[in-house]
């Protein structure tokens, strides 16, 4: 049953990705990106990668969608149609996708207990993490302690990306408001004068 749900989620993600590439409405694309991230989080949960699923749901479906919608407030809601199609870009994308697919051929089967990842430190983590760290949840102890520097680095990268996007969006919004205010200030004396003349 679990593998059937995983295949269904994966098929939905492929269909969404194809749909997003065909859309011209940027708002609809942003919403579908959020749905894509939620499906990815569900798929990762089914594959017992709950920590990755939490990150995907928070960053992919949450923060990214908010930033997309904020960026849409500063641009048009419809994508401009390309004037020409680059065959070189298409070739690079297809070649990269084929290379990535080829790189997965020598990976161990999903759920294989004899995979290298289960023969290195996983046994030690499962047996000794509670005594070493004092946390009953093995995933939490790995993320917060054994690979704490890596987790801290990931958090720093996400925070820096969010702050940078907020500064870019906020700066553009402030600049546009300033231009609107200066334009209103330039037009207001003429408006006041015309009103005054009309009153006389």
- Could you read off the pLDDT of 111-158 as tens digits, one per residue? 777 887 777 787 888 888 888 888 888 877 887 788 888 878 878 887
* Per-residue pLDDT at 19 exceeds 80: yes
d(CA 93, CA 113): 34
For residues 11 and 70, membership in a common domain is answered with yes
For residues 46 and 26, membership in a common domain is answered with yes
- Domain of residue 27, residue span: 1-78
d(CA 124, CA 115): 15
For residues 139 and 153, membership in a common domain is answered with no
Mean pLDDT estimate for the chain: 78
For residues 26 and 44, membership in a common domain is answered with yes
d(CA 109, CA 145): 29
pLDDT digits (tens, 9 = 90+) for 152-164: 887 888 788 778 7
Surface-to-core class of residue 47, CB atoms within 10 Å of its CB (0-12 exposed, 13-18 middle, 19+ buried)? middle
For residues 61 and 123, membership in a common domain is answered with no
Please report whether residue 93 resides in a domain: no
Tally of domains within the chain: 3
Instruction: Tell the residue number behind the tokens 């995979």, with chain if given.
Output: 115
Please report whether residue 100 resides in a domain: no
Confidence of residue 186 (pLDDT cuts 50, 70, 90): low
For residues 152 and 138, membership in a common domain is answered with no
HSE of 104, CA atoms in CB hemisphere, 13 A:
7
For residues 154 and 124, membership in a common domain is answered with no
Q: pTM of the full predicted structure?
A: 0.59
Please report whether residue 68 resides in a domain: yes
Please report whether residue 53 resides in a domain: yes
* Per-residue pLDDT at 98 exceeds 90: yes
Quote the distance between the C-alpha of residue 25 and its chain's center.
Answer: 18
pLDDT digits (tens, 9 = 90+) for 20-49: 888 888 888 888 888 998 899 888 888 877
């Amino acid at each position: 049953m679990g593998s059937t749900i995983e295949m269904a989620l994966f098929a939905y993600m492929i269909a969404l990705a194809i749909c997003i590439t065909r859309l011209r409405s940027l708002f609809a694309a942003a919403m579908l990106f959020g749905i894509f991230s939620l499906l990815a989080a569900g798929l990762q949960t089914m594959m017992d990668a709950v920590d990755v699923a939490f990150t995907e749901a928070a960053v992919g479906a949450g923060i990214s969608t908010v930033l997309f919608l904020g960026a849409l407030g500063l641009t048009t809601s419809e994508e401009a149609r390309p004037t020409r199609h680059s065959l070189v870009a298409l070739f690079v994308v297809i070649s990269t996708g084929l290379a990535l697919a080829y790189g997965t051929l020598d990976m161990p089967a999903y759920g294989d207990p004899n995979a290298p990842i289960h023969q290195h430190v996983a046994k030690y983590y499962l047996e000794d993490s509670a005594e070493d760290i004092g946390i009953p949840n093995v995933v939490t102890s790995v993320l917060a302690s054994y690979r704490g520097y890596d987790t801290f680095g990931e958090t720093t990268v996400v925070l820096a990306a969010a702050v940078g996007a907020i500064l870019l969006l906020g700066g553009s919004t402030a600049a546009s408001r300033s231009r609107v205010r200066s334009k209103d200030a330039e037009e207001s004396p003429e408006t006041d004068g015309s009103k005054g003349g009309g009153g006389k």
